[in-house]
Structure 1
Amino acid sequence: MISETQKQKPRFRLHPVAILNSQRLRRSLMDTYDQKSFYKYIIGIILLLLSIGSLFYTDKLVEELEQREEREVQLYAEGMRYVFNSPFDENFNVVFQVIQDAVNFYQIPVIYVNENNIPNPNKNIEFPANAGPAEKERIIQDKLADMKLEHPPIPVDLGRGRTGNIYYSNSFLLTQLRYYPFLQLSVMLLIGYLAYLAFSSARKAEQNRVWVGLAKETAHQLGTPLSSLMAWVEYFRSDPTIDPSIAEEIEKDVIRLEMITTRFSNIGSVPTLKEEPVTEIVTNFISYLEKRVSSKVKFSVFNELADEQTALINKNLFEWVIENVCKNAVDAMGGIGEINVTLQAPPNTKEIWIDIADTGKGMSKANMNKIFNPGFSTKKRGWGLGLTLAKRIIENYHSGKLFVKSSEIGKGTTFRISLNANIIE
């Protein structure tokens, strides 16, 4: 007969090579993730530098054009001074006409105000086609008020103690250039945002291909040894010299492996969601899991849901999420502590909240931001994929949320799973 000690399942230990390979994979995943994030920041910095350089260059062009327009208006003022103070000279009249043409070329709005404060004449002031004298006068006064705020007047010496003033505003081209940097910056930001979306989409697609390939390959590789193990179970049962309990224990582990294989094979495929009783699934799985972790970990389930409360879930994948979060909690507590699972439906919402709280070591804010990153783990062993897969299962397949609700160093961490609840009639 086999003693009770012999009947106990042997403790599974990872081979050193397997541990090394898992650590290498985790580092590879983290390096890939960090590298892609690094490229994202580089692209952002390049766009920022281009935007700043473009803004400075455009601002310089605006300043030069503004100075040129001011010189043209000053020349126009000087020409008017000669017209009012010099005898008629046909040659100068031609020169003055050239100066006026320069003002017109740059489309600089100009209004001359004489010594009696009467605005006349004007250049490049637009009037409606059917505008009468009164309306034109109103438009000139409005333009003049704006010009006084925009630029100081350029005085015109009329002689004999008389002085007029020329008021002007920026040309339409200069006004456009002033607003162009803001338009340019907006375009740059839009391009950066679209590039970020494209980069993120490509990264997620690449990660999804990695997860799907890894999961499918794992399920495929497990298929052959599982078939062999099932054959060995039948062989042990047929041999009367072998204790039947051995075959039963091996069969339990084989069934467990088959369930894991099914989980991996579902990754990448659209899982079938069924209307399942949430309380029953969570309670039964916690009861199952409690017997398979450290005896020094106490599980408690606090249910505030109605017995008939259901949600659309895939049972195998959902139990996998609960398992990953709970095992992460067990590791955080070093195999000693309490795990409290609370099920509730907040009022005035269509959600179900499942809070999984442990009494472990907690985590820093920096780790809270990285806990779901692929390959991230605070343990020496492990691939850092459990919580990543759990988050993908909840968010991608169940349209829910998985996040760290709270964490405090030395006191523990609470994870929250949020699901869409079916309304109870």
Structure 2
Amino acid sequence: MFKEVSLPLAFYNRDTWLKVAFFGVCVFMAGFSLYFTDGLVNKLEEREKQQIELYAETIRYVMTSDENADINFFFERIKKINENNTIPVIWKDGSGHLNSINIAMSESLSTEEKQTLLQSKLQEIIAENNKPIEMDMGFQKEYIYYGNSKLLKLLRYYPLSQLLVVLIIGFLGYIFFSYSRRAEQNRVWVGLAKETAHQLGTPLSSLTAWVEILRNEQSINPEIVVELSKDIQRLETITTRFSNIGSMPILKEEDLEELISSFISYLKIRISTKVHIEIKSALIANQVANVNKYLFEWVIENVCKNAVDAMGGTGDMLIYLHEGKNNQLYIDISDTGKGIPTANLSKVFAPGFSTKKRGWGLGLTLAKRIIENYHEGKLSIKSSELNKGTTFRISLPKPAVS
């Protein structure tokens, strides 16, 4: 099972509190906006209801007053109410005839057409769930139906627009923090790689000189000198790999099957003899891919060593080369190991996750970076089943035919 390893590299989690704080501010802004606007909407809704109730009471008073009553004041009140609001109002009298305020209608419409239009508008107003106001005229009951004003409608949708703005700000903030984190990680990768290459340079020069001295010693077994030379070449390859990290490496057309076969031959004598590695290819003969030999071998090494560890040093490994969709070349590396739990599939390439008790868990992270950042390809988990094994897939673009 994959286990999380604590990294000495603080940058992996340093900005977590900033993301949490930023997310908290966004949630607070959204919550406060919704709460404040909801309160404002409720107050405006109550105010409009009182205004329409006053309007209905004024009409009722005017309609039921005796002939000698002075109702000019109330007419002025009705006029002001009509002029100072945008609340759509439909007045339904006892006979079912409809009159309206703040509902646009063409003057060219006939009386029947206006009534038909008002019936349609009435249904829309009823759908807004404002309770109609009843007016008792003594001999009959009439009703005032009213909808929401333009301002109230705008305020109802305003929180949604604010929430959208907060979400956009939150998304942009997340992008910013993620970009900053990746940028810092990249600087650490590059610094670590360059410093490692520099530190290896001096002892390598010394070891090369010592090997030349040993070649001339008759008492030294020549096979030992040969093996030492191979290991020095290996260290030089590693130094070249680290030197290429952080700068755009030079890609060359390499015979993919030959390159992998050559490296696996080297790897076989350096891993458990109980691991059987088989290479199968469905590619055309001498199929090439644009790769940086040193970095690509590093990827194969990391994935294969991960497979060996997953099998506990005993099992079968199959490397299958074939062509996929959209002019892609696939390298599928399968093992018969313990597999990866579903919960950890998305974490395999994250720094700090490893199957081993020791180590930083950076091998697969580096491999993914090399393939995707430098080779325009993709490294992913094709499949994994507990206690049966895992298949990693490396995808590379097929070179264009010149």
Specify the alignment match of 1:207 in structure 2: 185
Deviation at 1:46, TM superposition (A): 4.2
* Bigger mean CA offset, 179-188 vs 142-151: 142-151
Specify the alignment match of 1:66 in structure 2: 45
Deviation at 1:55, TM superposition (A): 2.1
CA RMSD of superposed structures (Å)? 2.5
Instruction: State whether structure 2 residue 332 is matched by structure 1 residue 352.
Output: no
Deviation at 1:204, TM superposition (A): 0.8
What is the SS of the residue equivalent to 2:272?
coil
Specify the alignment match of 2:382 in structure 1: 405
* Letter of the 2:27 counterpart: L
Asked whether the equivalents of residues 337 and 359 of structure 1 are also in contact (C-alpha less than 8 Å), the reply is yes
Q: Please, which runs of 5 or more residues in structure 2 have no aligned partner?
A: none
Specify the alignment match of 1:22 in structure 2: none
- After superposition, residues 14-413 of structure 1 pair within 5 angstroms as 27-29=7-9, 32-37=11-16, 39-87=18-66, 93-95=72-74, 97-98=76-77, 100-102=79-81, 104-120=83-99, 122-127=100-105, 131-134=107-110, 139-150=117-128, 151-159=130-138, 161-346=139-324, 348-413=325-390
Deviation at 1:38, TM superposition (A): 5.8
1:139/1:124 Cα in 2 relative to 1: closer, same or farther (>3 Å)? same
* Bigger mean CA offset, 309-318 vs 265-274: 309-318
* Letter of the 1:233 counterpart: V
* Letter of the 2:65 counterpart: S
* Letter of the 1:28 counterpart: P
What is the SS of the residue equivalent to 2:176?
helix
Deviation at 1:39, TM superposition (A): 4.5
1:328/1:80 Cα in 2 relative to 1: closer, same or farther (>3 Å)? same
* Letter of the 1:409 counterpart: L
What is the SS of the residue equivalent to 2:393?
strand
* Letter of the 1:247 counterpart: V
* Letter of the 1:184 counterpart: Q
1:240 and 1:229 map into 2 onto residues whose CA distance is 19
Q: Deviations over 1:364-385 (max 9, x none)?
A: 2233222211122231222211
What is the SS of the residue equivalent to 1:166?
strand
Q: Please, which runs of 5 or more residues in structure 1 have no aligned partner?
A: 1-24
Q: Percent same amino acid among aligned pairs?
A: 52
Q: Deviations over 1:71-114 (max 9, x none)?
A: 11011000001111124688753355345534543421222232
1:188/1:136 Cα in 2 relative to 1: closer, same or farther (>3 Å)? same
Asked whether the equivalents of residues 309 and 422 of structure 1 are also in contact (C-alpha less than 8 Å), the reply is no
1:366 and 1:37 map into 2 onto residues whose CA distance is 21
* Bigger mean CA offset, 196-205 vs 56-65: 56-65
2:160 and 2:20 map into 1 onto residues whose CA distance is 23
Deviation at 1:43, TM superposition (A): 3.4
Asked whether the equivalents of residues 309 and 355 of structure 2 are also in contact (C-alpha less than 8 Å), the reply is no
What is the SS of the residue equivalent to 2:381?
strand
Task: Tell me the TM-score normalised to structure 1 length.
Answer: 0.85
Q: Deviations over 1:315-340 (max 9, x none)?
A: 11111100001111112222222111
Specify the alignment match of 1:21 in structure 2: none
1:225/1:99 Cα in 2 relative to 1: closer, same or farther (>3 Å)? farther
* Letter of the 1:254 counterpart: I
What is the SS of the residue equivalent to 1:94?
helix
What is the SS of the residue equivalent to 2:143?
strand
Asked whether the equivalents of residues 75 and 99 of structure 1 are also in contact (C-alpha less than 8 Å), the reply is no
- What is the aligned residue count? 395
